[in-house]
Structure 1
Amino acid sequence: MSVLDRIHAAGIVLPAAEMPRALYAPYTLHHGLLTISGQLPLQDGKPMFIGRVPGTVGVEAAQAAARLCLANLLGWACAATDGNLERIRGIVRVGGYVAVEPGFDDAPLVINAASELLNRIFAERGRHARLALGVASLPFGAPVEIEATFALDA
């Protein structure tokens, strides 16, 4: 089964890659490394989740937000590889940021939703180093933001 087949089997619909109107690139390619900028839980350009965990956004909803961030991230990976996700040889690192209420110290539980999905989609190639941090706020009031670096075949 191909990576794209596993993405579809996981119920993920890859979004169309639209260049942001901002002062950064959505991804960079450098010496076989694809680094994708932080992705928010947006769908059709609109936030699907707003608030901090676990106050206005419960842990399960934050995990769903993390999966949506990952779908957006994979959309950029697809664009960067011209649709050939088989070029991904491994995931070097995932950074996950969770907007948390004071006292909530389980950001890794939220980011686990994205890590589990990466492991399911990429199998052994999906194992990765990871950062999971609780932060005071994220852009547009999002509860989760995820970025990643992939190792690519030439």
Structure 2
Amino acid sequence: MSRIDTQLAELGIILPEPVAPVANYVPYVISGKQVFISGQVSIGANGLITGKLGADLSIEDGVEAAHACGVNLIAQLRAACGGDLDRVKRVVKLGGFVNCTPDFVDQPKVVNGTSDLMVAVFGDAGRHARAAVGAPSLPLGAAVEVDGVFEIA
């Protein structure tokens, strides 16, 4: 078992099959040593996590939704790496989008659900640049969507 697979097992994370695109795009693109992963919505073990932060979801709900996005990012990354997550050298950048009311201001706290996961899985290589922004709506009514850029060997 690889180092990252061992870390995922210790964290109790089972990666799902990568989610298929819902429109005219590909799930990831490899360019040189970078993998650009399309936005992953908040699909967890019990299905799509929907709702709006500041209205019907708490910050804790949002963090859980962002964590689900992170798990889906790692599943896509595993596919991009031919199944070998030990090829990941760095989480370069994440872009987090939070479905929220206009007065909601805790997008960074919500997107920490993905950021904390990346550090837990990849250690110092999981520290990254990031954006966390609010959106009036997201595809399929998802609570959160996160995309990412990763460096691989």
> TM class, shorter-chain normalised?
over 0.9
Listed as ranges, the matches of 1:1-154 within 5 Å are 2-20=3-21, 22-43=23-44, 46-47=47-48, 49-153=49-153
Cα distance in 2, alignment partners of residues 92 and 18 from structure 1: 22
Deviation (angstroms), 1:144: 0.3
Q: What is the count of residue pairs matched by the alignment?
A: 152
Q: TM-score, normalised by structure 1?
A: 0.92
Partner SS, residue 108 of structure 1: helix
Query: Which one-letter code corresponds to 1:9 in the other structure?
Result: E
Partner SS, residue 4 of structure 1: helix
Distance 1:61 1:5, change over 3 A: same
Deviation (angstroms), 1:42: 1.5
Cα distance in 2, alignment partners of residues 44 and 4 from structure 1: 19
Structure 2 unmatched runs, 5+: none
Cα distance in 1, alignment partners of residues 113 and 69 from structure 2: 10
Query: Which one-letter code corresponds to 1:60 in the other structure?
Result: E
Identity %: 35
Distance 1:14 1:61, change over 3 A: same
Residue-by-residue CA offset, 1:67-123 (whole Å, 9 max, x unaligned): 111111111101111111011100110010101112111100001121111111111
Q: TM-score, normalised by structure 2?
A: 0.93
Cα distance in 1, alignment partners of residues 63 and 20 from structure 2: 26
- Given that 2:67 and 2:114 are in contact with CA atoms closer than 8 Å, whether structure 1 keeps it comes out as yes
Deviation (angstroms), 1:50: 1.2
Distance 1:43 1:115, change over 3 A: closer
